[in-house]
Structure 1
Amino acid sequence: MVEKSSPKKVVISDAGKAVDRRLDQHEQYEFGGPLGVTAIMLGFPTLMYYLWICLWFYDGQLVYPHSVEEVKPFLARMWTHVCEDANPSLYAWKVYGGNIIFQFILALVMPGYQQEGLPVPSLNYKTLMYNCNALYSLYATMIAAAALHYTSVFRLTEILDNFWPPHVVATGSQIRMSGNFIYDVFMGAILNPRIGSIDLKMWAEVRIPWVIVFFLSVSGGCKQYEELGYVTPNMAFMILATWLYLNACAKGEECIPQTWDMYHEKWGFMVIFWNFAGVPFSYIYSIVYMARQDPSKYHFSTPRYVFMFATLLTAYYIFDTSMSQKSRFKMQTQGITTFRTAFPQLPWSIVKNPTYIQTAHGNRLLTSGWWAYSRKPNYAADWVQSFCWGAIIGNASPIPYFYSVFFITVLVHRVGRDFERCAIKYGKDWEEYCRVVKYKFVPGIY
Structure 2
Amino acid sequence: MSKKVVFDKGKPKEFQYEFFGPIGALIVVMMTTTVVFGLYFGCNENGCPAHTQKIISMIQNTTFIDAYSFQLYLCWLGALILAWHVLPGEWVKGLPINEKGTRLEYKMNGFATSSLVLGITCGFIYIKGPECMELVWSRFLPLMTSAYVVSIFLSVYVYISSFIGKKQLAEGGNSGNVLYDWFIGRILNPRIGKFDIKVFCELRPGLILWIFLDIALACRQYVMLNGRITDSMVLVLIFHVWYVLDSLVCESAVLTTIDVTTDGFGYMLSFGDLVWVPFTYSLQARYLSFRPVDLGIGYTTAIILIQLLGYYIFRGSNSQKNRFRNDPTHPSVKNLKFIQTKRGSRLLIDGWWGKSRHMNYFGDWLMAWAWCLPVGFGSAIPYFYVAYFGVLLIHRYGRDDHKCNEKYGDDWKKYCQIVKYRIIPYVY
State the TM-score bracket (shorter-chain normalisation). Answer: 0.7 to 0.9
For 1:199, the equivalent position in structure 2 comes to 196
Deviation of 1:78 (Å): 4.2
2:192, 2:14 → 1: CA distance?
Answer: 26
Letter in structure 1 aligned against 2:31: G
Q: TM-score normalised to the size of structure 2?
A: 0.87
1:135 paired with 2:135, answer no
Render the CA deviation track for 1:306-340: whole Å, top value 9, x for unaligned.
0001111221121112111111111125x8x6xxx
For 1:260, the equivalent position in structure 2 comes to 258
**CA 1:80 to 1:120, structure 2 compared with 1: closer, same or farther past 3 Å?**
same
For 2:136, the equivalent position in structure 1 comes to 159
2:181, 2:57 → 1: CA distance?
Answer: 33
Deviation of 1:161 (Å): 1.9
1:266, 1:408 → 2: CA distance?
Answer: 23
Q: Is the 8 A contact 1:373 1:439 kept in 2?
A: yes
Letter in structure 2 aligned against 1:235: M
1:103 paired with 2:85, answer no
For 2:42, the equivalent position in structure 1 comes to 54
For 2:123, the equivalent position in structure 1 comes to 147
Alignment root-mean-square deviation, CA: 2.1
Q: Is the 8 A contact 2:94 2:256 kept in 1?
A: yes
Bigger mean CA offset, 26-35 vs 145-154: 145-154
Given candidates 226, 233, 240, the residue that maps to 2:231 is 233
Bigger mean CA offset, 160-169 vs 205-214: 160-169
For 1:125, the equivalent position in structure 2 comes to 101
Letter in structure 2 aligned against 1:38: L
**CA 1:247 to 1:352, structure 2 compared with 1: closer, same or farther past 3 Å?**
farther
Which segments of 5 or more consecutive residues in structure 1 lack a partner in the other structure?
A: 1-24, 65-73, 338-347
Deviation of 1:79 (Å): 5.0
Deviation of 1:385 (Å): 1.3
Given candidates 208, 213, 217, the residue that maps to 2:214 is 217
Deviation of 1:387 (Å): 2.3
For 1:340, the equivalent position in structure 2 comes to none
Q: Is the 8 A contact 2:186 2:264 kept in 1?
A: yes
Q: Is the 8 A contact 1:284 1:400 kept in 2?
A: no
Q: Is the 8 A contact 1:255 1:328 kept in 2?
A: no
**CA 1:106 to 1:279, structure 2 compared with 1: closer, same or farther past 3 Å?**
same
Bigger mean CA offset, 217-226 vs 182-191: 217-226
1:130, 1:87 → 2: CA distance?
Answer: 36
Given candidates 361, 369, 374, the residue that maps to 2:343 is 361
Deviation of 1:117 (Å): 0.7
Aligned length: 394
Deviation of 1:252 (Å): 0.4
**CA 1:26 to 1:106, structure 2 compared with 1: closer, same or farther past 3 Å?**
farther
For 1:180, the equivalent position in structure 2 comes to 177
Letter in structure 2 aligned against 1:317: Y
For 1:92, the equivalent position in structure 2 comes to 69
2:279, 2:63 → 1: CA distance?
Answer: 13
Q: Is the 8 A contact 2:25 2:180 kept in 1?
A: yes
Alignment of 1:235-254 (within 5 A): 235-254=233-252
Q: Is the 8 A contact 1:116 1:127 kept in 2?
A: yes
Q: Is the 8 A contact 2:254 2:260 kept in 1?
A: yes
For 2:402, the equivalent position in structure 1 comes to 420
Given candidates 282, 285, 299, the residue that maps to 2:283 is 285
Letter in structure 1 aligned against 2:235: F
1:300 paired with 2:295, answer yes
Deviation of 1:101 (Å): 0.9
Bigger mean CA offset, 267-276 vs 31-40: 31-40
Task: Indicate the SS of the match to 1:236.
Answer: helix
Task: Indicate the SS of the match to 2:19.
Answer: coil
Q: Percent identity?
A: 30
Q: TM-score normalised to the size of structure 1?
A: 0.83
Letter in structure 2 aligned against 1:403: Y
Deviation of 1:141 (Å): 1.2
Given candidates 20, 33, 37, the residue that maps to 2:21 is 33
Q: Is the 8 A contact 1:214 1:243 kept in 2?
A: yes
Deviation of 1:205 (Å): 1.0
For 1:314, the equivalent position in structure 2 comes to 309
Q: Is the 8 A contact 1:62 1:399 kept in 2?
A: no
Task: Indicate the SS of the match to 1:146.
Answer: helix
**CA 1:83 to 1:148, structure 2 compared with 1: closer, same or farther past 3 Å?**
farther
Letter in structure 2 aligned against 1:226: V
Deviation of 1:352 (Å): 4.6
Letter in structure 2 aligned against 1:207: R
Q: Is the 8 A contact 1:26 1:178 kept in 2?
A: no
Q: Which has the higher contact order (CA 8 A, sep 6+)?
A: 1
For 1:410, the equivalent position in structure 2 comes to 392
Deviation of 1:137 (Å): 1.0
Task: Indicate the SS of the match to 2:96.
Answer: coil
Which segments of 5 or more consecutive residues in structure 2 lack a partner in the other structure?
A: 1-12
**CA 1:358 to 1:130, structure 2 compared with 1: closer, same or farther past 3 Å?**
same
Q: Is the 8 A contact 2:355 2:425 kept in 1?
A: yes
**CA 1:49 to 1:233, structure 2 compared with 1: closer, same or farther past 3 Å?**
same
Task: Indicate the SS of the match to 2:16.
Answer: coil
Deviation of 1:62 (Å): 5.2
